Structure 1
């Protein structure tokens, strides 16, 4: 069995199945939280239970893989955003991706806490990775003269985390976006 972290690359069909499982798990955990059943995830992914368990032999392995994938997607988006648009618009777009990440993480929060209680560290370096992604965006914005330079990436991350804590539920998305707009407006350089 594999937990998805083996050295050998997956065949294309196996990779597609793994990706479908991870995408379905994000949706199911967002809906059901800790009550999400592995069989429901397999069904939502359109794969059999054996395929699910071949990729993720335990519930904890699946939750950890989903969480790590969400962090990676958030951080890996930065270069593409910066290449496609001006730095401030890239930062704006990334903060919306951050809300998506928070929504996915929110559905798995209890499960992540349960894993952490066993002594495992599902969060690993995620905060550092997110901080580095935000630093890259803010450095590009500062170089373009688009944002104030007296606000650190750590301060901005704290603000984002505060918004996440108070507005993480899907029904609070509009409020979270308003708070992001307010935060970004305060970050904008004034002449």
Structure 2
């Protein structure tokens, strides 16, 4: 279903997408299945951009984009790339993407607890989302709630907090009252 929906949206946005490609932006269309934002969200927790106005600026040439080639050096007037091209710039933004969401958690917990944090994003073998909104496997009493969107790195967005905080609180309360039982968990691949 996501493939069909993403293809429909790409058809509606064809002029914008073609303009972005002409402007140097690399399109990924949602990963290997061309499923758009949803697939990237559940499998990577990122790797997408939801337009807040920059697309038009890229298309109009007000924002310059260079993809698929490494930076050789920064000069007083811009950037020189390994393919020999130079891009004049007043401001340089390096968009490196998201890091593994476990990094800040590991930094907070330290070792060895940080090493026990299981994969927290992507889908398990049964298609279930790994990790969020539950007690962390291998770390009793460590509960995680998170979400991502285009404006937040890994702290979680308020919309998801409103939806899932009650579910998480009910799990914690059930455990405190001795009602939690055994939670089903599909095997986790690291």
Q: Do they superpose with TM above 0.5?
A: no
Normalised TM-score (structure 2): 0.29
Structure that is richer in strand per residue = 2
Normalised TM-score (structure 1): 0.29
Answer 1 or 2: higher relative contact order, Cα 8 Å, separation at least 6: 1
Structure that is richer in helix per residue = 1
